[in-house]
Amino acid sequence: MKDFTYYNPTDIRFGDYIDAQLAKVVAHFGQKVLLVYGGHSIKKNGLYQRVIDLLKGFDIVELAGIEPNPKIDSVRAGVKLAQDRDVVLAVGGGSVIDAAKVIATAAHYDGDAWDLVVDRDLAQKQTMLPLVDIVTLAATGSEMNVNAVISDPSQNAKVGARCPNPPAVSFLDPRLTFTVPASQTAAGSMDIFSHLCEQYFDRSDSNDVSKGMIEGLMQTVTRWAPVAINKPDSLDARANLMWAATNACSGLVGAGTESRWSCHAMEHQLSAVYDVTHGVGLGILTPRWMQYVLDHDESTAKLFARFGHRVWDLPVLGNVHNRAQEAIDATWSWIFGLGFGMTLPEIGIKDEAHFAEMAKTAAAGGLDHAYLPLDAQAVEDIYRASITPGIH
């Protein structure tokens, strides 16, 4: 187990607390509010009007239209609005919360917000506005960490920022996710699962605490995601997925591990260039990455075999390599069952024109120290493997 420090000050309000507590929570930080949200879904389902009614009497300025894979231009627009605000209120999923984090970080910065995305040390020096959020999608876990992923289409860049603080207060009501479409539920569930995989597959075999917590969360996601897809108003399914998402990316389960988030590094380039749904990209890349790792380093078979037994309930006895392969096959089958495309052409990527440059950028993000070290050629091979069906 690696040495680590862990601190997370986010105040979580899980359940039906919005009506009773939102106004009081926001008022603690001030009366001038920047309300940040995405498309029309919160207006269609009534959440927007509910929030406006609860905050009657507050001075509210709105920033609507935050995109999936949030763009730096939207952040810049938010920064202009945030300069005289006391608090930022984000209502939405991870993209909205990510954008709100960077807006809150850059509110009093004299330069361009992109500076704070690409320079984590500079971002840490900023005085961040307090951020309150209402989560509407179980996926990224952005409600309980300092991370934010922002895109700049002009550079084909998608970069992970690190803000000074996580959200101050996060409202998590799983009932708000009842109306999330099956496709978004599937992509969100894959994102949760990938967050767990990224922290699980590392070389710290002695960290049984983190491994055990991650295995438990993986079991939760793999059990409840199909239920939520097929029965969207299942409170048990929605609640378990929402709390799993928060914990998967809170930093706690990965404490003491040494992971480089290989699949996220590869997918960030995929969605930067092609603007694909993040969870779908991860669903395509993850089993190919697993297969590549096993094929190129037999020593990884032991952990894949444990993963198969603990998560997929596969037999504990037998040839270790075969058990590892069965675990990867089981992962493929579960992802396939989520219902989205499993090859790049199925999501509209039918050429390899950008693969070399994407691979070079992904590999430069520390993948030489990943669970299986990956250079640009290895990443490009994984992209190419994602063009054809199957993993064998």
- What span, in angstroms and rounded, lies between the C-alpha atoms of 370 and 363? 10
pLDDT at 62: 98
pLDDT in tens, 191-212: 999 999 999 999 887 789 999 9
Q: Which residue has the tokens 């390899």?
A: 352
Which amino acid type is present at position 225? A
Q: How far is CA 245 from the centre of its chain?
A: 8
Radius of gyration, CA atoms only, the chain: 20
pLDDT in tens, 246-288: 999 999 999 999 888 999 999 999 999 999 999 999 999 999 9
Which amino acid type is present at position 109? Y
Could you give the residue range(s) of every CATH 1.20.1090.10 domain in the chain?
182-385
CA-wise closest residue to 273 among 156, 387, 352, 158: 156
User: What band does 223 get if pLDDT is binned at 50, 70 and 90?
Assistant: very high
pLDDT in tens, 307-348: 999 999 999 999 999 999 999 999 999 999 999 999 999 999
pLDDT in tens, 5-21: 999 999 999 999 999 99
Whether 384 has a pLDDT exceeding 80, the answer reads: yes
Could you give the residue range(s) of every CATH 3.40.50.1970 domain in the chain?
11-176
- What span, in angstroms and rounded, lies between the C-alpha atoms of 35 and 197? 33
Please count the CA atoms within 13 angstroms of the CA of 361 that sit on its side-chain side.
20
* Beta strands 147-152 and 157-162, pairing class: antiparallel
What is the average per-residue pLDDT within 144-156? 96
Enter the CATH code of domain 182-385: 1.20.1090.10
For 11-176, which CATH class? Answer: alpha beta
Q: How many of the other CB atoms lie within 10 Å of CB of 296?
A: 13
